[in-house]
Copies of this chain bind each other. A is one copy, B any other.
Amino acid sequence: MLQNSDGDPTGILVAVGGNEDKDHDIEVLKNIVDLVSDPRVEVITTASSIPEEVGMTYKRAFKKIGLSHIGLLNIQSREEANDPGYIDRVKNANVVFFSGGDQLRITSTLGGTPILVALKNKYHKEQCAVAGTSAGASAMSQTMIYEGESTEALTKGTALLTGGTGLVKGIVIDSHFIKRGRFSRLMEVVTTNPGIIGIGLGEDTGVIIRHGHILQAIGNGLIVVFDGQNINYSNISDIEIGEAIAVENICVHTLVKKHGYDLWTRRYLKPDMVQDQLEKGQ
């Protein structure tokens, strides 16, 4: 499977925090399809327990913003993830959108399957957008949070993690971030491994990730970035599961629309800096 180390991906990722508007301005979804010309969308509803209903909602929303080519890929088993017809549809699309639901359905159903390999190849080699909302966003990172009490004390073992689809490296994405008060669980992840950057996505809000590392906020809410690079001290390896975590020096940023962040240099990008960075090509 392709890795970021094989060079900058040609495709663009978009991670959305869930509950994006689908009836009124439909801003976030518009931002996604505007990333490609002549958008041909496939919506993968694998995460959802009510895939038909969710699929129809997105079909309506994408229709409202003027799209005509909108497919629904309700892949519910690993067997279906081998279906050559489905794989071809992913290959022919230039926007692949993962709905919300449960991110474990995405990884347990699609992990290691030909359809996911095809998607990753597309993302690395072609001009396309791979987007996901809520569970669909959380599943994108290499390490993925799949469970963990919100608004709990910052205690060791609260955030449960496993491997994500690995479309983006070096970060952990959490969604519904502000609404559900998920600061603690992302701080836990960053403390256990300060190499990982924590990205908390608010609702109706997202980040466009270009070149695999340049983030730009879209939508109406807030993105919270946790950078543990300068953690000087923590008790994480000395305490038992369930005990409270002491940690010195996690750096927190918030991004709103047009603001950005570079995952490689760990630099905050003001709106004009995002443009500069993108014009430089990476």
Q: Give the B-binding residues of A (Cβ under 8 A).
A: 150-154, 178-181, 183-184, 187, 202, 220-222, 232-233, 235, 243-257, 259, 268, 270
Q: How far is the CA of A183 from the CA of B179 in the complex (A)?
A: 11
Shortest C-beta distance, A173 to chain B (Å), equals: 18
Across the interface, which residues of B come within 8 angstroms of A220, CB to CB? 244
Q: How far is the CA of A56 from the CA of B202 in the complex (A)?
A: 43
| A200 and chain B: residue at smallest CB distance | B183
Cβ-defined contact, B252 with A151, below 8 A: no
* Residue from B232, B245, B253 in contact with A256 in the complex, judged by beta carbons closer than 8 Å: B245
Q: A153-B221, A183-B183 are in contact. List 12 more A-B contacts (CB 8 A).
A: A151-B151, A153-B178, A153-B202, A181-B183, A220-B244, A221-B244, A233-B268, A243-B256, A245-B254, A249-B252, A250-B251, A250-B252
**24 A–B contacts, CB within 8 A, in A order:** A151-B179, A153-B222, A154-B222, A154-B254, A178-B184, A181-B183, A187-B252, A187-B254, A221-B244, A222-B244, A222-B245, A233-B270, A243-B256, A244-B254, A244-B257, A245-B254, A246-B254, A246-B259, A247-B254, A248-B268, A249-B251, A249-B252, A249-B268, A250-B251
Q: How far is the CA of A244 from the CA of B250 in the complex (A)?
A: 22
Shortest C-beta distance, A262 to chain B (Å), equals: 12
Cβ-defined contact, A246 with B255, below 8 A: yes
